Amino acid sequence: MTKVVIDSVRLEDVINTRHTILRAGQPRSSCYYPEDSYKNTIHYAAFIDDVLMGCASVYKESHPDFSLKQSWRLRGMAVHQDLQGQGIGTQLLETCINHAIKNKADVIWCNARDNAVKFYKKSGFKIIGDEFELPNIGPHFLLAKNLGIHIGQTHFLKIAKKLFSKNQTVPVPQSRVKS
């Protein structure tokens, strides 16, 4: 496969890809997320021959129902259509996970579209809770990966499910708007 280079980029650099892949037909303004302005936010892009072919962003942000300390959130994961399925998404995902680990994350989470759940599960993310619907986008799942070396995977899932189930009856919180 052609050499893929992953690098950190400015927010503006990922907007076109977010728009084409994640928000086609929606206003460009929908591609700017509130978390983009957080202090610890970082955007990564995958380049092939200096052309941006994929992107992902990672934020220091707790999930309201999932209040483990040092939570990081993944958002805006997208690879250009004709290059999907060639490992670029996995390289971006691993870069984001490594960034969170370097910053002492205990957990990394995302709201994943149902069609991308298998992709995240292959990198060790677990489904937490039930499917939920995001307006204009479709069905999603909350997925999380345990990064805390002191929490065993089984114990982590127990904690996560317990925290999450407390709020099962509450409607989708604001923070879960959009993937």
Ligand X SMILES: CC(C)(COP(=O)(O)OP(=O)(O)OC[C@H]1O[C@@H](n2cnc3c(N)ncnc32)[C@H](O)[C@@H]1OP(=O)(O)O)[C@@H](O)C(=O)NCCC(=O)NCCS
In the complex, which residues of this chain contact ligand X (CB under 6 A)?
21-22, 77-79, 84-90, 112-113, 115-116, 118-119, 122, 179
Nearer to ligand X, 114 or 155 (CB): 114
- Minimum gap (Å) between residue 88 Cβ and ligand X: 4
Name which of 30 and 159 has its Cβ closer to ligand X: 30
Size of the chain in residues: 179
CB atoms within 10 A of CB 145: 22
Q: Exposure pattern of 79-91 as b/e (b: 16+ CB <10 Å)?
A: bbeebeebebbeb
**Which residue lies nearer to ligand X by CB, 119 or 156?**
119
Residue closer to ligand X by CB (options 23, 146) is 23
Point out which residues pair with 52 in neighbouring strands. Answer: 47
Token representation of residue 69: 């300390």
> How far is the C-alpha of 11 from the C-alpha of 29, rounded, in Å?
13
Using CA atoms, how far apart are residues 65 and 166, in angstroms rounded to an integer?
Answer: 8
Contact 132, 158 (CB under 8 A): no
Point out which residues pair with 60 in neighbouring strands: 72
Closest approach of ligand X to the CB of residue 109, in Å: 12
Closest CB 74 distance from ligand X, rounded Å: 8
Please identify, using beta-carbon distances, which residue of 137 and 159 lies nearer to ligand X. Answer: 137
Residue, CB closest to ligand X? 89
β-pairing, 51-60 vs 42-48, is antiparallel
